[in-house]
Structure 1
Amino acid sequence: MSNISLNTITHPLEPLTAEELAVTIAILKRDQGINENFRFASVNLYEPVKSKVLKYEQGQSFEREAFCILLDSKSGYTYEAVVSITQDRVISWEHIPGVQPSIMADEFMECQNVVKSDEQMIEAFHRRGLIDIDKIMVDPWSAGNFGHHEEENLRIVRALCYYRPEPEDNLYAYPISGLHALVDLNAMKVMKVIDNEIVPLPPTHGNYTADAVGTIRNDLKPLEIVQPEGPSFTVEGHEIQWQKWKVRFGFTSREGLVLHTVSYADQGKERPVLYRASLSEMVVPYGDPSEPVNRNNAFDSGEYGIGMLANPLELGCDCLGEIRYFDAHFADSQGNVIQINNAVCLHEEDFGIGWKHTDWRTGHVEVRRSRRLVLSSISTVGNYEYGFFWYFYQDGSMQFEVKLTGILHTEAIQPDTRYPYGNLIAPQLFAAHHQHFFNVRLDLMIDGVNNSVYEVDTLQMEKGPDNPYSNGFYAASTLLEKDSDTGRDLDLRSARSWKFVNPSQKNHVGDAVGYKLVAGENAFPFAHDDSPLMKRAGFLKHHLWVTPFDPDEMYASGKYPNQHAGEQHLEQWAQAGRNIADTDIVVWYNMGHHHITRSEDWPVMPTAYISFMLKPAGFFDRSPALDVPPSLSKKGHCSSHSSGPHCS
């Protein structure tokens, strides 16, 4: 048995602690003879099976296991291991042929050093007048899979280069276009240099610090958010209780934030809504058909790892108010335990009016302010920042929002040149149009494990005597019975939505209890269906898919999307014809941000927002926000007669 203390681990879904990570790595090194050729691609909690978690009661003993992906850089082989921390042994060790793990953080810096020391690249830099190699910066981009035979069975990235005149300069203002390299990460050497025309560096900097901007607004007064009595939430380990919500969360190296066992207290009992929810995959395809941007189709979650790239958050900058932070622990590729301080932020926010009504006959006003709980993290993936926010509302609604900011991917172009697949954002500086797609996996548990999905369309009534003024409409619901019935799209003309119900649980008017998905911004990809991108990301063809629960189907792009040709992902799984009615199901929702670039996005892009909501639809017998207490204005309660105190 391991000497590790499990007394402080209060639930089977608690993330691995730093101590558990260290023990896991030590067991692998001891039992499997792990040497310096091996890299640890990921080490995360091996989540117990759902049935055991749902039966767990506080105080019961449970196993602690880790799921590990390792790469032997000498042979190029990938291995999966399950390690029992409780039993101090390796439970399984399996070679997974023909796959590449995600690109690891230290491979980025090693790749940069290799490119900057390669003689052919140095000569190419010198031909462009770039003599000081220390000022060259390299962004390794995933290679994808485009059928190039010379890349088969190799672990490669594309190395795109930039120039940074001074340490504080924005390197993306000076892309070295016409030159890039392919790097073999296992051999850690440049395998191919692509040296095309010499393009001059753009003439203007893109610096964005306060000093670089110059005059800063001086009329912005302080805004303080204070909670003198502390926050309204309580936390035990990674379980949060707030305003009838109970939310457990985790944090993995690939997905980042993960929600577990989300429930809402109603009529004296905890009613489950979700078993698990997470970002399954991110795909960022570019519309530039020219080399090398035509291969920019990043799978940011599966190829890099959102959790591993999480930012340490700072009070007053990333979060405001009465904050509770949580650290994240991972293993780096060498097996060292690393800690990301303040990787997760928890706080409350005022969110305006929750509900209000003024009785114009009596002048009586009732108003309640809305407050929401915010659970968030932010990751930097190369030039872009992504903020991931889960919101919980007092009316039983949930929202997932992504905030996109950071710096555009840039290209230097010849003077007096324009292209239709992007825009000039500064003189001789080009930014290609692109898209950001986010696939969210929702393991539903609406008042129980067995759920169904209805597609709801609003239809016009036929003209006739029952519709004398031709203005009638109604909502029609269609049950999705097989996974092959899914691959469904939003439709503005029918105001389409999807409702998730538990057919065995009825509300007080006899309808099945449920939640509905309320979509926000969305888009379709513009790549052709037979393109290399869509062969790997066919799940982007539709906005919503439904599959029966399968613990092996965790990621829309498959377990190993890096350099994979595209087999074994959500589009294939959803063609099996499996039952999805009144059973344990998973909903996969895609939302897409369509980015036509503009000069206002430079040098740092103002935050763009994309989200969806889960709103109760027959889940409660009445509004669950009725019992939210009235807020206090400076003069008294926010509920009174119109001549008295009120606030909005």
Structure 2
Amino acid sequence: MTAERHWSDPLTPAEITEVAALVAADSRVGTRPRFWGIAVEESLARALAPGQGRPVRLVVMNAEAHAAWEVTAWSSGHDRTASIGGWSDVDAKRPGVSSDEARAISQAARTHPLIVDALAKRGILDTSLVWIDPESITGFEPEDLADRRLSWGTVWYRESADDNGYARPVAGLVPILDLETLDVIRIEDHGVIPMASESGNYRSGTWGPDREVAPLEITQPSGPGFSVDGHLVTWQNWSFRIGFTHREGLVLHDLAYRDGDVDRSVLRRASINEMYVPYLDSDPTAYRKNFFDWGEYGAGPLTASLELGCDCLGEIHYFDAHVLDGAGAAKTIANGICLHEEDHSILWKHVNTRTGEADVRRARRLVISFFATVANYDYGFYWSLYQDGNIELEVKLTGILSVSGIDDGRMPAFGRMVAPNVQAPTHQHYFAVRLDTAVDGALNRLVEVHAEVEEDEALNPWGNAVKMISETIDTEKDAARVADASRAVHWRIENTEKTNRFGESTAYRLTIPHTTRLFAKPGSIVARKAPFVAKQLWATAYDPAERFIAGEYPNQAPLGEEGITDWQKANRPLDGVELVVWPIVGVHHYPKAEEWPIMPAHRIGLRLEPDGFFTRNPSLDVPPSEGSASCHAPAPAHAGSTGSAHLHGTNEPEAASCRCDAHDSPSHH
């Protein structure tokens, strides 16, 4: 870690502390200010030399005054000391909820007389065993409380301190919470329903003895094939920089692939920009469930510490993550980002049946990952780079289903039974990805491609000719697109100034294989809150003010009036611009019994592939595997390894067992 601080590097604890201290010292924030996030102002910072002070923005609240501000500032560097730039008023209702704020309201609510009385009706007398998760209320604010900073609560009960509370919902009980005063304003009580009678624990040995599993060890005797210099990573022909923000968590900057002696750019920036999770159940303790987990809470503070042998295997490089907590202190998440290589089956193969010779190359990939624990759910985000120039994003959904109680003898109308008196509502997960493209340079265009049967019989006498139709997306109003596997729809992100040897624009192909549609009624709160989930791809011309697809402050925001559907009204041209594409990856989750009491990882994602970007297969220089002379033709004398590590599975003694616990996270969805 020798490199001097680069503009895109994650903020350091020292930078966070110095700026937060300047803000906290201002009299307008009061004696107990609350903070929500700090981030580098990337559009200004990009031009800075390493080691300079960096422009940042943060959000601070004075809960006692019902006031909030966005503050611009500079961190210290070779060229300056830390300083405040300016203050802008923010609607006090709308900043995201910090982990500290969530814990404070949870602790206050469970001892409130209204809650205590309601729990006593259900035979719950020890409130120390109760959890109350403050949930986002956007769109469901009671009319008489519309000006207050609000939340509503889901209530859970544990039979013991180590019980899985998310297995025992307290049905029918809905507190309305004031986040500023930490008060329970009122309670909806929809009647007493029997509690879950069955344990929801998932620890080793709970449901019988563990099965026998043969050891499987990953070894790299020559060390990893990547190199790390500060936050700059190089691997095989790839180079990129690791970033991290409060709202998005892991960010990748300046992805480039070395082609011969030239580093050719692919993406300027890549991140998970937002996550929307609507629940599709009219049950009184479920119908309000719909969350912008990033915009209303933040991926950064929800990031979990990763453990070697549990989350990542092999030769690992970890990056710590640093966030601003709700009290204005810098908080370090140890091992928040994992970097490692994986064997990934066959890269390419052919058997010459005439000579009996076979050529095969094994693929490996470089994986950059982080996990966010959002109360009951856990989400893993895995960016993978491949030797042939491909890029993949895989999202792994695991953790615990968000469940509701159900009365004896009833079956759920809008979900599935997972345990006695416990139902799991049908719901959806949408992940809005932000890709600032730079395919072979800064100026790109978006082209949609689909398949059609050739109807001209003169051109298609046998009925089997299929043509691929390309449509350039000229303006933003046309750039709300729908994925359609039945027509082989995909998109090309083309450079508008460079062509390959066949005269085609150099490009990368984007495919989104995992999609769904929102099944809520048009005009419903759920549909109006996140209009961007109606399409699978959006595109805009780069604007530094347009940072988040759901808008800057989606918490208790006016429904559907901000974010990408508003930006596109400008209808800016998209051909030959600094292009931003916004893929929407989605899954419709109809729960099943096998996902209880903890959910095996479900995987969804997207893929970027070179499409006329290279002259030919860029992985022809990958050497045969060591010790594989029997399954490939002799390698040319000049063939050499592009990386020093070799990934082997061995039967070494099993590693010491590990228990991987998520770090302290806020209590919400």
1:405 aligns with 2:398: yes
Q: Give secondary structure in 2 for the equivalent of 1:177.
A: coil
2 CA distance for matches of 1:282 and 1:611? 13
Residues 62-141 of structure 1: matches in 2 within 5 Å?
62-86=52-76, 87=80, 88-97=82-91, 99-141=93-135
Distance 2:422 2:338 in 1: 36
Q: Does the alignment pair 1:455 with 2:448?
A: yes
**Amino acid across the alignment from 1:152:** A
Deviation at 1:149, TM superposition (A): 1.4
Tell me the equivalent position of 1:242: 235
Aligned equivalents of 1:119, 1:631: Cα separation in 2: 68
* DSSP 3-state at the match of 2:89: strand
Q: Distance in 2 between matches of 1:531 and 1:147?
A: 14
CA distance in 2 between partners of 1:193 and 1:147 (Å): 14
Asked if structure 2 preserves the Cα contact closer than 8 Å seen for 1:31 and 1:90, the reply is: no
Query: Residues 272-291 of structure 1 correspond to what in structure 2 (within 5 A)?
Result: 272-291=265-284
Write the distance in 1 (CA, Å) between the matches of 2:520 and 2:566.
19
CA deviations on 1:494-522 (whole Å, 9 max, x unpaired) are 11001000021011111100001122221
Match of 1:155 among 107, 124, 149: 149
Distance 2:612 2:275 in 1: 32
Q: Does residue 435 of structure 1 match 2:398?
A: no
Partners of 1:236 and 1:35 in 2: CA distance:
42
Contact 1:387 1:403 in 2 (8 A): yes
User: By how many angstroms is 1:172 displaced?
Assistant: 1.9
1:101-500 map, 5 Å: 101-146=95-140, 148-218=142-212, 220-462=213-455, 464-500=457-493
Normalising by the residue count of structure 1, what TM-score does the alignment of the two structures yield?
0.95
Q: What SS does the aligned partner of 1:390 have?
A: strand
Is the counterpart of residue 627 in structure 1 residue 621 in structure 2? yes
Q: 1:286 to 1:33 in 2, by over 3 A?
A: closer
Residue 45 (structure 1) aligned to one of 40, 43, 50: 40
Answering whether residue 31 of structure 2 is matched by residue 36 of structure 1, we say yes
CA contact (8 A) 1:535 1:565 kept: no
**Range that drifts further, 307-316 or 141-150:** 141-150
CA deviation profile, 1:425-478 (whole Å, cap 9, x unmatched): 112210000000000011101111110010001110115132121111011100
What is the identity, as a one-letter code, of the residue corresponding to 1:293?
Answer: A
Question: 1:571 & 1:561 partners in 2: Cα distance?
Answer: 13
Matched-pair contact (CA < 8 Å) for 2:9–2:244: no
Which shows bigger deviation, 459-468 or 383-392? 459-468
1:52 positional shift:
2.2
- Counterpart CA distance in 1 for 2:450 and 2:546 is 29
Residue matched to 1:586: 580
Aligned counterpart, 2:645 = none
For 1:530, the equivalent position in structure 2 comes to 523
> Greater relative contact order: 1 or 2 (C-alpha under 8 angstroms, separation 6 or more)?
2
Q: Deviations over 1:409-435 (max 9, x none)?
A: 111111110122101111221000000
SS at match of 1:289: coil
Q: After the TM superposition, which parts of structure 1 deviate over 6 Å for at least 4 consecutive aligned residues?
A: none
The 1:294–1:20 alpha-carbon spacing in structure 2 relative to 1, beyond 3 Å, is same
TM-superposed deviation, 1:101: 0.8
2:553 pairs, out of 543, 547, 560, with 560
Secondary structure, counterpart of 2:16 in structure 1: helix
1:385-411 residue CA offsets vs partner (Å, 9 max, x unmatched): 000110000000001111000001111
| 2:8 is equivalent to residue 13 of structure 1 | yes
- Structure-2 separation of matches of 1:163 and 1:548: 49
SS at match of 2:585: strand
Q: Note the residue ranges of structure 2 that are not aligned, 5 or more in a row.
A: 635-647, 650-669
Cα distance change, pair 509–50 in 1 and its aligned pair in 2 (3 A):
farther
Correspondence for 2:665? none
What whole-Å deviation, never above 9, does each CA across 1:138-181 have from its counterpart, x for those lacking one? Answer: 11111112363123121111111111001121112211001120
C-alpha distance in 2, partners of 1:624/1:444?
20
Deviation digits for residues 285-312 of structure 1, max 9, x if unmatched?
0110121311101111111111110111
Q: SS of 1:176's equivalent? A: coil
d(CA) in 2 for partners of 1:98, 1:38 = 13
User: Identical aligned pairs, as a percentage?
Assistant: 37
Kindly tell me the number of residue pairs found equivalent between the two proteins: 631
Per-residue CA deviation, residues 52-96 of structure 1 (Å, 9 max, x unaligned), is: 26xx6xxx6643122111111112222111111233211111112
Q: CA deviation at 1:31?
A: 5.1
Q: What SS class does the counterpart of residue 345 from structure 2 fall into?
A: strand
1:632–1:638 Cα contact (<8 Å) kept: no
Partner of 1:575: 569
Equivalent in 475, 488, 496 of residue 503 of structure 1: 496
Distance in 2, Cα, partners of 1:43 & 1:245: 30
Whole-angstrom CA distance in 1 between matches of 2:311 and 2:402 = 23
For 1:106 and 1:517, the matched residues in 2 are separated by 39
Contact 1:379 1:385 in 2 (8 A): yes
Q: Secondary structure at the match of 1:23?
A: helix
1:607 to 593, 601, 607: 601
Residues 535-583 of structure 1: CA distance to partner in whole angstroms, max 9, x if unpaired?
A: 2211111111111001111111101111112321111212321101111
Residue 263 of structure 1: how far off its partner (Å):
0.5
Paired AA for residue 89 in structure 1: S
Q: Distance in 2 between matches of 1:583 and 1:46?
A: 21
> Contact (CA 8 Å) 2:336, 2:370: kept in 1 or not?
yes
Shift of 1:638: 4.3
- Residue 644 of structure 1 corresponds to none
- Structure 1 contact 497–516 (Cα < 8 Å) conserved: yes
Give 1:10 shift: 3.2
1:399 and 1:229 map into 2 onto residues whose CA distance is: 26
Shift of 1:529: 2.5
Query: Separation in 2 of the partners of 1:380 and 1:591?
Result: 19
Question: How well do the aligned residues superpose, as a CA RMSD in angstroms?
Answer: 1.8
What TM-score does the superposition give when structure 2 sets the normalisation length?
A: 0.92
Distance 2:224 2:618 in 1: 21
SS at match of 1:106: helix
Q: Which SS does the other structure have where 1:307 is aligned? A: helix
Task: Measure how far apart 1:7 and its partner are.
Answer: 9.6
**8 A Cα contact 2:190 2:284, kept in partner:** no
How far did 1:199 drift? 0.3
The answer to whether the Cα contact below 8 Å between 1:176 and 1:412 also exists between their aligned partners in 2 is yes
Checking the alignment, whether the CA contact within 8 Å between 1:424 and 1:599 is kept in structure 2 is yes
**TM-superposed deviation, 1:528:** 2.2
2-structure distance, mates of 1:614, 1:372: 14
Q: Is contact 1:630–1:638 with CA below 8 Å preserved after alignment?
A: no
